[in-house]
Every structure is written in structure tokens, then in C-alpha cells.
Amino acid sequence: MTVPVFLVGRSRLLDADRIVLDGPEGRHAATVRRLRVGERVDLTDGAGLVAECVVLQVRRDELELDVLRFREFAPAQPRLVVVQALPKGDRGEYAVELLTEIGVDVIVPWAAARCVTVWRAERGAKALARWRSTVREAAKQSRRAWLPEVTDLATTEQVSRLLRAATLGVVLHERAARPIGALRPLPETGELVLVVGPEGGITDEELGEFTGTGAQPCRLGPTVLRTSTAGLAAASALLAGTRRWA
């Protein structure tokens, strides 16, 4: 059975021989997962530190854990940032779940011109909170030592700045001449920034602004994917060309 992972603050992990897993994570471990004495558990701070533990005691809403060893994981290189135009409905959470599972490091929600979904005021704050909660759960499920960052909602101008600072910028576009698989060799370090447009596509103005930063327009295969799945396919193609998936 896969060892379950729970998120704990770094200050609680450092220099600890025994840890009490309580709060929402402890309640989930004890009452939902129903972990038992002797079972293995991993704790992570989401910033590279992992404590490999075994359950010593199970109480109503918490576990007492014996720390077997600590492991420290360096950030992966190159860093992969995905700019995700806002999908409709709950497909935004679906998109960020998939991106988290495959190893994306930063997810940037983008208010593209043709986005049907609009994040404003309280509605936007709730939607962003759902994205971050989804990432948190997906990171635990996929056993990630590093929790992906979900930034605040970005404008097109802010996305352009990300692309300008990137080691390599890629913009998905269905009419691009170059397939994404032709982007070889890929940088071994630095930051890859991938832009995924909305269902209605990136406007000519947005494309012109992005390519003006030096970003490369690329297409996927012969079919057009939904925005909620295009990021998964494109990020996978990029990761397959790096040492991260070697």
C-alpha cells in the first residue's frame, strides 16, 4: 500500500523524535484513513523536508508518530511554471489537480481576454482558495515533497513579465507551425514558462505581446484540447524533454 502523506509545518518537524499529528490532518489520518499502530506515514512541510514515520498511538482525532528518518529534497530543475487561463465551472480545479500530479512547480491563474469565467471580489477569492486547496490535496496524493505555488490572478501584462524573465517561454497556439516536441534541447536549469489559453483561444493581441518577449508559439498534436487538459499534455511534453523525467 502507498504510504500516506500529510502536511505539517517545518517547525514541528525539525529535531523531533516523536510528532503528534493533530488538527485537520490528524483527524483525517485517524478517522478517515483509519491508520493503525505500526503503519507507515510520511510528513512533509511542502518545502522539501520529509519525515518518514511509523504510528505509535492512535487517539480520537490524532496520531502519535515515531520519526524513523528525515529526508531533504532539493527543488527540481528546470522549474516549470504553467500560466492557466481560467476554465469554466469546476474544470479549473481539475486542471490544477492534473498539473500538480505531474510535477508543475508554479500555477498562475490568468484572466485572458476570452475567458468566460471572471474572478471578481469575493467570488475570485473563493475560487483561488479552491485552487489552492485542490493543489494541497493533489500534492499529498501524488506524494510530493514540494507543494506547488498557486499565485494570485495574473493580468496579461504580468504574464508577459513572467515570459520575459523565463529561460524558455512557450505559448500554446493551435495555428503554430512548430510542434511542442520539436523544442529540443530544453534548458537543464532556470525556468520554463508555459502559457495555456482559454477555450476561445488566445487573441492576436495577446499572442503578439507574448511572442514579443521571445516566447515560442507551439502546437500540440493534430487535435485541439480543452484548456483544462491542454496544460497537462503540454507540460508532460516539456517534462519528458528534461532530466526531471529522464
CATH code of 146's domain: 3.40.1280.10
Model confidence over 113-124: pLDDT tens digits? 999 999 998 999
Model confidence over 190-213: pLDDT tens digits? 999 999 999 999 999 999 999 999
Q: Which domain holds residue 10?
A: 5-72
Q: Supply the angle between the helices 91-102 and 121-141 in degrees, to the nearest 10.
A: 40
Last residue of a domain, one of 29, 48, 72: 72
Phi (first) and psi of residue 191, to 5 degrees: -135, 125
Record the pTM. Answer: 0.95
* 163 plus 61 within the same structural domain: no
Q: What is the pLDDT of the chain when averaged over all its residues? A: 95
* 184 plus 222 within the same structural domain: yes
**Spatial contact of 215 and 163, defined as CB atoms under 8 Å apart:** yes
Last residue of a domain, one of 72, 102, 129: 72
* 156 plus 174 within the same structural domain: yes
* 67 plus 85 within the same structural domain: no
Domain count, the chain: 2
**Spatial contact of 217 and 162, defined as CB atoms under 8 Å apart:** no
Q: 91 vs 127, 158, 198, 230, CA distance in Å?
A: 11, 23, 12, 12
* 48 plus 151 within the same structural domain: no
